Amino acid sequence: MEKTTVIGDYFKNGGLNCAETTMRILIASLRDMPRDTQKMMSGFGGGMQRGLVCGAVCAAVAAIGMKTGRMEPEESREPSAKAVRMFLEKFEAEFGALTCAELTEGIVSKSDEMYRYCSKFVAFSADIAEQIIKEN
């Protein structure tokens, strides 16, 4: 399914938040993540409902961790940490911030403008996370 279709069908029109939508895109494109992984992102929309780290960013970091993370303490966490740093640097370079409050300053929550504006964070996060995951 095309990312723009998923964003339109699920983010604005379907009632999923930015984090859920980002994860849904990554589940569809990566194909080996359990579909119910999306559930864990429900509380992350709107920067955890507080304007903190953007939900799309949280979902991308979660997906990167799912693919590059470790299970045991003696395993190195560096591959995952490196991949997450790379994602965060790219997102921040593109948009100038990581927090929902900064990214959406002056935009009315749940407005058509917000959905149009935040859709670019969802699409970018999914694209960059997928690229990083496939490279690692």
- Domain containing 43 equals 3-135
pTM score, whole prediction? 0.93
List per-residue pLDDT tens for the chain, 136 residues long: 456 666 777 887 778 999 999 999 999 999 889 999 999 999 999 999 999 999 999 999 999 999 999 999 999 999 999 999 999 999 999 999 999 999 999 999 888 899 889 999 999 999 999 999 999 8
Sequence-distant (6+) residues with CB within 8 A of 22 are 41, 55, 56, 59, 60, 63, 122, 125, 126, 129
Query: How many separate domains does the chain show?
Result: 1
